[in-house]
């Protein structure tokens, strides 16, 4: 590879992956030209990579000639532990919560300085909110975010404050000292609340979900109309659901260990 100082394998894989990152929730269908532009690669390279990815099933082409993420990539993504373990264990308990509260129910994990929504269930009576499974929101302004931030290593809070605490409404906590005290309250009380801090009219309540080793691995939350939310009642519904999820994770781990020891 004279004249190319980079590892050729590395650059090809990186470019193939850059094709995938051209897609996001506002760009789920893209033309070849748009893929090349958004991925920052020459059109000819994009053409070749897209064809390979399409052959494999990572991309799909519709009748208009636009591409979207392929079903095979979706299938493989579902093997991620966040889906195959966490979401699968939580889903029936989230359905129960949703059925009893008639509100939006979220399961979320922390990735860096973001909340990533693993699943969202909703009902026609729930307040319309813009979260979605696979979507991201900041840590400081939502109920699930506060739970995850309260149980993150201390450096994470520091980094969030460094990046700046974006104000979404007049009620968003944007002062680092106040956020630190709020997180202490979350740890002391065992649940978090966010009152119109992300969106006016909505109130979120969330509790930690513990993994098999006792560490906080996720947050389970409900987002309700702020006018009619009964925080005490929501916490009473959330805590046993979170505990049931932990128990299911423990049972599954035991099942897997049993399989391994056979």
Single residue of 5, 10, 154, 170 touching its own copies by CB under 8 A:
10
Single residue of 12, 156, 161, 250 touching its own copies by CB under 8 A:
12
Distance CA 173, CA 166 (A): 9
Pairing of strands 59-61, 67-69: antiparallel
Enumerate residues 65-124 that contact its own copies by CB under 8 A.
Answer: 68-71, 73-85, 88, 91-92, 95, 98-99, 109, 111, 116, 121-124
Decide: is 247 part of the binding site for its own copies (CB under 8 A).
no
Shorter beta-carbon distance to its own copies: residue 33 or 99: 99
Distance of CA 71 to the CA centre of its chain: 20
Fill in the per-residue mask, 120 to 149: x = in contact with its own copies (CB under 8 A), - = not in contact: -xxxx-------xxx---------------
* Three-state helix/strand/coil letters over 27-72: ECCECHHHHHHHHCCCHHHHHHHHHHHHHHCCEEECCCCCEEECHH
Measured CA to CA in angstroms, residue 18 lies from 50, 86, 135 at distances of 11, 28, 19
Distance CA 146, CA 236 (A): 18
Distance CA 142, CA 37 (A): 34
Interface stretch with its own copies, choices 23-31, 35-43, 137-145, 157-165 (CB under 8 A): 23-31
Dig out the tokens for 13 from the structure.
């894989």
Interface stretch with its own copies, choices 18-26, 152-160, 177-185, 191-199 (CB under 8 A): 18-26
Decide: is 9 part of the binding site for its own copies (CB under 8 A).
yes
Give me the residues that bind its own copies (CB under 8 A), please: 7-10, 12-14, 16-17, 20-21, 23-25, 28-29, 48-49, 52-53, 56, 58, 60, 68-71, 73-85, 88, 91-92, 95, 98-99, 109, 111, 116, 121-124, 132-134
């Amino acid at each position: 590879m004279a004249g190319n100082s980079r590892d050729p394998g590395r650059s090809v894989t990186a470019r193939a992956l850059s094709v995938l990152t051209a897609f996001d929730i506002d760009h789920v269908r893209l033309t070849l030209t748009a893929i090349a532009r958004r991925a920052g690669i020459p059109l000819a390279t994009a053409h070749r990579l897209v064809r390979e990815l399409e052959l494999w099933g990572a991309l799909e082409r519709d009748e208009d000639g636009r591409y979207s993420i392929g079903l095979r990539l979706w299938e493989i993504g579902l093997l991620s532990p966040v889906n195959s373990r966490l979401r699968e264990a939580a889903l029936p308990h989230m359905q129960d919560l949703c059925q009893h509260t008639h509100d939006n129910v979220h399961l979320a994990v922390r990735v860096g300085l973001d909340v990533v929504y693993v699943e969202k269930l909703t009902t026609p009576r729930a307040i319309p909110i813009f979260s979605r499974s696979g979507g991201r929101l900041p840590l400081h302004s939502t109920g699930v975010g506060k739970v995850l931030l309260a149980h993150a290593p201390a450096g994470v809070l520091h980094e969030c404050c460094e990046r700046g605490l974006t104000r979404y409404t007049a009620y968003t906590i944007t002062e680092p000292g106040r956020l630190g005290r709020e997180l202490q309250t979350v740890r002391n009380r065992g649940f978090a609340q966010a009152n119109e801090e992300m969106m006016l009219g909505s109130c979120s309540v969330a509790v930690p979900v513990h993994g098999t080793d006792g560490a906080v691995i996720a947050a389970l939350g409900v987002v309700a109309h702020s006018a009619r939310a009964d925080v005490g009642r929501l916490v009473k519904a959330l805590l046993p659901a979170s505990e049931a999820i932990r128990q299911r994770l423990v049972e599954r781990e035991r099942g897997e260990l049993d399989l391994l020891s056979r």
